[in-house]
């Protein structure tokens, strides 16, 4: 097979893959492999096609066939790890990623951190995220996942320290500003939280969750007018945002607008019956009703 024909076949396979015409793409890659059985990249592409077909077994066999020809290929071993991670088989994913730890690849530590995080292994997850950042200081996704982990484990002080250092060295973007605002909120440093979250909301005016976070900080400081503006905007962006509805109920309740609060809480519970914030808000009306009954 000459290079011209090979190039045309690869273009066809790429087109079929983009169109999710998996069988056509697989047939072309198999044709190429019959004449180029040592082309490791084709095995990886074929495995990706099988993964697109949700045929994890065929994808694994294809990648293992590639390993049979290049046993120490870290990209193929990593692809096996990613295959099982995306299939939800975290044990197999961990097994394959751990095989390439000696190569000190940032993305491998990142994926092991993700696996540990999903398995509630906070210490292991933190260790791998930090290792990924050490190997590649520009790996911001590893930093953001680490911040998420620190906030989940109630460590806002460490999150603030890491984010401040990142912003000093790399500059601020909406995500680092937002996460810093969340960290300040958890630490109850409301002035700093409001500054960061307001900046993030201004940069991302169509993100209901960011708007809600900023509104929550204003709500905590008694700035009800500003909180209301942000929540109204959040509901304009996403009228089915349970968080925005529950916060709007909380705001209405604080302002003694009881019927409006009840309406918001009920709307939130219609969308998410187990929402804790809305359930907590509805407790007020149960207590009030019981008090009136007792009288």
Q: What is the pLDDT of residues 177-226, one digit of tens each?
A: 999 999 999 999 999 999 999 999 999 999 999 999 999 999 999 999 99
User: Does a structural domain hold residue 7?
Assistant: yes
Is 176 inside a domain boundary?
A: no
- Read off the CATH number of the domain in which 20 is found: 1.25.40
Instruction: Let me know: does 196 contact 209? Beta carbons within 8 Å.
Output: no
Average pLDDT along the chain? 94
With respect to residue 41, please indicate whether it lies within any of the assigned structural domains.
Answer: yes
Look at the chain and report how many structural domains it folds into: 2
Please tell me the predicted confidence (pLDDT) of residue 293.
Answer: 55
Domain at 269, CATH number: 1.25.40.10
Which is nearest to 29 in space by CA: 62, 64, 73?
A: 62
Residue 295 has pLDDT above 50, yes or no: no
Planar angle of CA 262, 264, 268, nearest 5 degrees: 115
Locate 196 and state its tokens: 């960061």
Among 25, 48, 66, the domain-final residue is 66
Structural domain span for residue 50? 1-66
Asked whether the predicted pLDDT for residue 4 surpasses 90, the reply is: no
Give residue-wise pLDDT tens across range 9-57: 999 999 999 999 999 999 999 999 999 999 999 999 999 999 999 999 9
Q: How confident is the model at residue 3 (pLDDT cuts 50, 70, 90)?
A: confident
Summarize pLDDT for 249-287 with one digit per residue, the tens: 999 999 999 999 999 999 999 999 999 999 999 988 877
Alpha-helical (H) ranges within 171-257 are: 174-186, 190-203, 208-220, 224-237, 242-254
Whether 3 maps to a domain, the answer reads: yes
pLDDT above 90 for 102: yes
On whether residue 141 sits in a domain, the answer given is no
Q: Which of 47, 66, 85 is the last residue of a domain?
A: 66
Provide the whole-model pTM: 0.84
Q: Taking 80 as the threshold, does the pLDDT of residue 77 lie above it?
A: yes
- Position 142 in a domain: no
Taking a C-beta distance cutoff of 8 angstroms, is the pair 129, 136 a contact? no
Give me the pLDDT at residue 291, please: 55
Residue 165 lies in a domain: no
**What is the DSSP secondary structure assignment for residue 125, as one 8-state letter?**
H
- Domain boundary at 26, 44, 66, which? 66
Give the pair of three-digit tokens for residue 178.
């937002």
């Amino acid at each position: 097979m000459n290079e011209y024909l090979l190039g045309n076949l690869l273009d066809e396979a790429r087109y079929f893959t983009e169109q999710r015409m998996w069988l056509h793409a697989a047939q072309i890659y198999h044709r190429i492999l019959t004449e180029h059985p040592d082309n490791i990249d084709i095995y990886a592409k074929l495995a990706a096609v099988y993964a697109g077909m949700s045929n994890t077994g065929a994808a694994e066999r294809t990648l293992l066939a590639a390993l049979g020809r290049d046993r120490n290929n870290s990209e193929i071993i990593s692809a096996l790890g990613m295959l099982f991670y995306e299939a939800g088989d975290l044990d197999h994913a961990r097994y394959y990623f751990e095989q390439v730890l000696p190569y000190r690849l940032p993305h491998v530590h990142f994926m092991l951190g993700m696996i540990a995080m999903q398995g509630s292994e906070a210490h292991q997850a933190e260790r791998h995220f930090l290792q990924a950042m050490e190997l590649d200081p520009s790996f911001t996704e590893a930093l953001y996942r680490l911040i998420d982990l620190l906030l989940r484990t109630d460590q806002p002080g460490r999150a603030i320290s890491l984010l401040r250092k990142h912003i000093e060295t790399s500059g601020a973007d909406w995500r680092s500003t937002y996460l810093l605002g969340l960290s300040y909120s958890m630490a109850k440093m409301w002035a700093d939280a409001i500054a960061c979250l307001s900046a993030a909301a201004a940069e991302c005016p169509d993100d209901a969750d960011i708007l809600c976070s900023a509104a929550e900080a204003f709500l905590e400081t008694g700035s009800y007018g500003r909180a209301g503006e942000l929540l109204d905007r959040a509901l304009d962006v996403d009228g089915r945002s349970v968080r925005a509805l529950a916060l709007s109920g909380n705001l209405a309740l604080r302002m003694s607008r009881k019927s409006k609060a009840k309406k918001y809480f009920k709307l939130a519970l219609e969308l998410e019956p187990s929402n804790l914030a809305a359930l907590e808000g509805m407790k007020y009306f149960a207590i009030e009703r019981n008090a009136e009954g007792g009288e």
